[in-house]
Amino acid sequence: MKKRAIIFVLLLSSLAILIGIIQFNYHPFVVNSTVDSSKMYTVLSNKKWVLSFSEEFKKESVTEDTIYVTNKDGERVAISLSFAGDNVLVIPPEEGYPPNKSPFELHVGTAIESIDGRTLQSGEKFKFHAKEDLPTISSKKELNKLFNDRLVKVENQFGRSGRFSSEVMEDSDNAEAESSTVADSSSGSKESSSFSETNVQVQGVDEADIVKNDGEYIFQAIDHKLKITKALPVDEMETVAEINYKDFAPFQMFVDEDQLVLIGHYWKETYEPYQEGQDRSFIMPMYDATRVIVYDISDRTNPVVEKTLTLEGSYVSSRKIEEHVYIISNQYPNYWLLQENPEVDLRPRILETLEDSEESDGTEKSMKRVDYSDIRYFPDSSEDNFMTIASFDLKNPTDDATIFTYLGSGQQIYMSKENLYVAVPSYSHSNGRNWFANENTDFYKFSVDGLHVEYSGTGSIPGYLLNQFSMDEYNGYFRVAATKGQAWDEQSPSSNNLFIMDEQLNVVSSVEGLARGERIYSVRFMQEKAYVVTFKEVDPLFVFDLSNPNDPKVLGELKIPGFSSYLHPYDENHLIGFGQDTKVEKDQFGTRVVTNGVKISLFDVSDPTNPLEKFTEIIGGQATYSPLNHDHKALLSNKEKDIFAFPIVVYSEKDKHDYRFEFEGALVYGIDLDKGFTLHTKMTHQKENTPYEDWENSIQRVIQINDHLYAISPKQITASKITW
């Protein structure tokens, strides 16, 4: 009897456990959304809604009867529906949603089915007003209300911790391409000299860097100072000017003939004391700022300040097109202070001075807040930062900079000669599952005409971007490569997609569902071709044919060990991959992939249906790394002079998982299409028998002037003659 009772109890326990497992793993079939269906939203009239679902759905169940939009009169609006992977795109009418017909409702009906036959647990209605142009902030009351709404939303999602204001976003650039044409880093001339320029992606769109040169002088931003070195003649190389800064850390610059634009981080934590009788509006300290100093360097030995521009917030990126300079910064206001003082002024501050001025100290007294009427906002963005775009003309340095400020934008940008694109992540997590799996990317497009940068459109895709290389503009189309989901999520494996969008940022075509369970590690667009590297255990290199924007295709795929984190065009038939070698290890915890030295690959893509890895070079052991893995500007490439040079730190393998420091400096390779890679020379500033890395002697850039290579570290510059 006891045995039967025990067996019965065990059966009940097993059944309870099974029911618990079923309940734990069961998720209702619902709509994921970045908005709250109980609220009314304001969006732009050309808003493209991206709808995702908690489970894979039957596309045939998505029709004009299950997803539709109505206006204030209950009339249906002539939208169109398209698919992007596991998402539904709701495209507005060609002329956009007419604002005079607001409010609108986006209806999602319960008849939409998952692939296992379940219908939506409940329908959804998303209410919104439409505006033709970006709305502006009219007053402190309106601005603080926007932040109060975001404060409530953050608290509901994350509790009181939320996001704090003094974030510092480092420059995430990794290069760009105008018409997908790569700028030759060997180009540039000054009289009869030849010299290298910064390795950029977009030809004709310069990018700031820590080192610049003009064929005679080397300009270096390092260790709180600007350093100018006369490079010619080589045997008389000397420092001719050095400017030290106290509260300013320069890290990037442009050089344009006799002008130098120095960009860096500025800080001055000063507080304005409260006095009786003052307005009770809270005076916030300035946590950090981006400072830009324009110098007249007609006399290289005596740079003279022409303009100083200080933008509250952290530096995002910058570009220079001919004489026009564009600076983008982000400021995250501490809107939690609204809980203490509803009247706090959260607007970002700006200061512009000419020549050397006492006002340029950047204190709260001298900084001027942006006018409310000059702040526009993206009504459907979930980002809580101010993005400031400042532009100025080097030919007229005394003219005021043009300032555009937007509330709600991102950190990744792409810029061609005609347009600026800003990528902004958005998330949906209403179903309580992994919200990163439901990440979308919104794009804001700005037309660029000299100093005028004007908002011109918005679009959305599912997934997230790797970096600016993920974006490209060509013949009026905007092309994007994105990863949807996370590689570590086994329940909902990641996938990789390529989208082509028109001038209005409508998705016109796509290639989707590539390399499930992997993520994108590098992208390169080259006119009518695109190359995408994904990785988890092996490195698939995908070759895309984009010659027909309405019908992109994968032409070929190559699977090899390791991965390329940067792709550099050699010629129209060959591509250089720079990344890491990898190996698969097994232990008591299972199988894992570990890096195994820096890897250079020469890919032959002359037959795009059958890409080949012709040659490889593996440098060092597991701990070996190079700045080129994450910063394209660290590369010096000159095909005519047979130069492929980059900084590197090399570790050799002593025993398993025991690596010994071996070399810190730069390597200069040559590339032969028949013989592969040849190591021409090594360049180093480290002392002999140095047992560890030494930052002061780490080579950060290699540049070329005439027949010499210059290795540049924080402490010194050395020159080596090109002898091959």
Least Cα distance to 346 among 135, 496, 197, 140 occurs for 140
| Other beta carbons within 10 Å of 277 | 5
Strand order in the sheet with 104-108: 40-44, 124-131, 104-108, 67-70
- 495 vs 165: CA distance, rounded Å: 33
Tokens 């071709």 sit on residue: 529
The torsion angle over the Cα atoms of residues 505, 506, 511 and 513, rounded to 10 degrees, is 100
- 227 vs 715: CA distance, rounded Å: 11
Calculate the alpha carbon distances from 57 to 62, 64, 83, 116, 436 in Å.
9, 16, 11, 8, 19
Instruction: List the domains of the chain with CATH numbers.
Output: 31-132 (2.60.40.3710), 136-409 (no CATH), 418-559 (no CATH), 561-724 (no CATH)
In the chain, DSSP finds a helix count (H) and a strand count (E) of 2, 48
| Torsion sign across C-alpha atoms 607, 612, 617, 619 | positive
pLDDT score at 103: 95
**What DSSP state is assigned to residue 63?**
S
- 698 vs 665: CA distance, rounded Å: 6
pLDDT surpasses 70 at 595? yes
* Largest Cα–Cα separation, the chain: 104
pLDDT score at 549: 97
Q: 97, 47 in Cβ contact below 8 A?
A: yes
| Torsion sign across C-alpha atoms 367, 372, 376, 377 | positive
pLDDT score at 158: 53
Token pair listed for 203: 């030809």
Least Cα distance to 354 among 289, 399, 403 occurs for 399
Least Cα distance to 599 among 558, 634, 560, 573 occurs for 560
Calculate the alpha carbon distances from 142 to 404, 407, 558 in Å.
19, 12, 54
pLDDT score at 428: 56
pLDDT score at 155: 63
* 402-424 per-position pLDDT tens digit: 999 999 878 899 999 999 999 98
Token pair listed for 118: 């379940």
Task: Name beta bridge partners: 295.
Answer: 260, 305
Q: Are strands 375-377 and 402-407 parallel, antiparallel or unpaired?
A: parallel
Average pLDDT over residues 297-305: 98
Task: Name beta bridge partners: 452.
Answer: 449
Name the residue type at position 604. D
Would you place residue 193 in the very low, low, confident or very high pLDDT band (cuts 50, 70, 90)? low
Higher pLDDT, 187 or 549: 549
Higher pLDDT, 274 or 306: 306
Q: 593, 537 in Cβ contact below 8 A?
A: yes
pLDDT surpasses 60 at 646? yes
DSSP string, 199-232: --SSTT-B--BSEEE-SSEEEEEETTEEEEEE-S
The torsion angle over the Cα atoms of residues 355, 356, 357 and 358, rounded to 10 degrees, is 170
Strand order in the sheet with 368-369: 248-256, 259-266, 289-296, 304-312, 349-354, 368-369
* 124-183 per-position pLDDT tens digit: 898 999 988 888 998 999 999 888 877 776 666 555 444 433 333 334 444 333 334 444
Average pLDDT over residues 306-310: 97
DSSP string, 502-556: -TT--EEEEEEEESTT-EEEEEEEETTEEEEEEESSSEEEEEEE-SSTTS-EEEE
* 58-67 per-position pLDDT tens digit: 999 999 999 9
Higher pLDDT, 13 or 426: 426
- 258 vs 463: CA distance, rounded Å: 44
pLDDT surpasses 70 at 434? no
* 26-39 per-position pLDDT tens digit: 457 778 765 566 77
Least Cα distance to 52 among 92, 86, 90, 91 occurs for 86
pLDDT score at 723: 96
Q: Mean pLDDT across the chain, nearest whole number?
A: 85
Q: 459, 47 in Cβ contact below 8 A?
A: no
Would you place residue 20 in the very low, low, confident or very high pLDDT band (cuts 50, 70, 90)? very low
- 93 vs 240: CA distance, rounded Å: 62
